[in-house]
Homo-oligomer: A and B are copies of this chain.
């Protein structure tokens, strides 16, 4: 199972949405656009840029229309936005986006606290939204979060996540991104999660959205690669900490992911040096150092000194 890896992989950048939404200080729209442009320039072809959520909910993303209107258009880059309700979907269609993303949890408590809906209510909503989105010509992607564990309930029965993922594909979602929302996943569990998913869904319709809260994201990605998964979500610089453990890392850093993939000879189309530039822009935008390890190494690598006995 660990003998072969895919020849290429898709890196799905979520920093501008999933990363920035947690920032308390309002980031100017131009800075967001500069970051998105830098990410696209680095070769990322899937970028989630914002959320058409109520500005009352997430003031940081109140400029969704302005961001989408000014996106650097390119035939190679697909931009998407999170769409939490009918109004959001309409805004997304009006803004001219070609891809919408739905958000669900497989844990009831997380679903309630996160989107204020039971899992069944969320499924009912997205059933309606998917029809409308597809009719309007949008592609739809779904996130199923808390697959590896829930901050409120602990372990979540795998069948529930599998059922939910299957439902989303049946609704017309081209891909379901499985989230380790709190970054608890370890490789044996990941193998079990993916075995369960792959029994019901083809690898191409699955993505992994791993958090690096306990340092295990890339080890889990490695398991995914060995099982044929080829799409991985990541956030530039690791933007977007873990809201359940303040100060801890959240999203897997895009540079770390790309470094590992490239090192394994897996094509991503991403230029790591340009990606580091985007990471530096992200750091400037939020005004602090981000947790991504490759970013720190690349920023510090100019100096070199020997230390006796360095193992």
Which A residues lie at the B interface, using CB under 8 A? 1-3, 5, 14, 18, 21-22, 51, 53, 57-58, 82, 84, 103, 110, 113-115, 143, 145, 151-152, 177, 179, 181, 183-189, 191, 209, 212-219, 221-223, 226, 233, 242-249, 253, 256, 259-260, 262-265, 291-294, 296-301, 303-311
Contacts and interface: CB of A to CB of B under 8 A. Distances in A.
B181 A263 contact: no
A198 to B, nearest CB: 15
Contact of A263 (B103, B189, B249): B189
Contacts of A14: 311
Given A82-B309, A103-B309, A214-B260, 11 more contacts: A53-B309, A184-B263, A214-B259, A215-B215, A215-B259, A215-B293, A216-B218, A218-B218, A218-B219, A243-B304, A248-B297
B188 A263 contact: yes
B115 A308 contact: yes
B296 A245 contact: yes
Given A218-B216, A218-B219, A293-B215, A310 B243 contact: yes
A38 B214 CA distance: 21
